[in-house]
Amino acid sequence: MTKVLVLQSSALNENSNTRFIANKLLERLGRDNALDVSTRDLAGKPLPHLNEATLGAFFSPADQRTAEQQQAVALSDELIAELLAADVLVIGAPMYNFGVPSTLKAYLDHIARAGITFKYTETGPVGLVENKKAYIVAAAGGIHAGTPRDFVAPYLKTFLGFIGIDDVELIQAEGMSMQDQKEAAIEKALDEIERI
């Protein structure tokens, strides 16, 4: 049984291109393996952004945290445990104003923890989240891939590599707000899924 963690960040719910494509990806993955899928809807249940109390708790040794600090890191600990328990990560990432939705950024901020998901060494940072496969399902209203305007896929690949997830596949659908492009873009994304 392959454990899959799906992160959905589109605020469009049933009208979301990334949700639609991610569901098609799950159908495809389910043909090869039995899947145990858990979904975290970051748009439906947004996470709080980091604040001074949470950051202070992150940087305090676990055995020296106050009760308030333990409470401040509890959500982050839960998110990290959920990630570490998964074999496969599927990230639905629409482009909002050239970047990822703030709800997805908040999630990433909560799971980037020195000494837990990465560590600094004399030769630079080393990711501690190992033996995971990740799929990024990215969609954009315009055409941005490979241009200086694309801060979604490169950012997510960099972040995932930073915490140790290097086996990353990108499924991209662009031109979703362009009537003459949308259908072809979805077909291309579905073809990419079939080739997995």
What is the spatial distance between Cα 87 and Cα 36, in angstroms, rounded to a whole number? Answer: 10
* Residue 65, both tokens: 């945290």
23: annotated binding-site residue? no
**Main-chain dihedrals φ then ψ at residue 111, nearest 5 degrees:** -95, -5
Q: Is 10 annotated as a binding residue?
A: yes
What are the residue ranges of helices labelled H in 50-178? 52-58, 67-85, 102-111, 153-162
Q: Is 131 annotated as a binding residue?
A: no
Annotated binding-site residue? 60: no
Q: How many CA atoms lie within 13 A of 133 on its CB side?
A: 8
Binding residue per annotation — 16? no
Name 11's Cβ contacts closer than 8 Å, sequence gap at least 6: 43, 101, 103
Binding residues: 10, 95-98
Binding residues for FMN: 10, 95-98
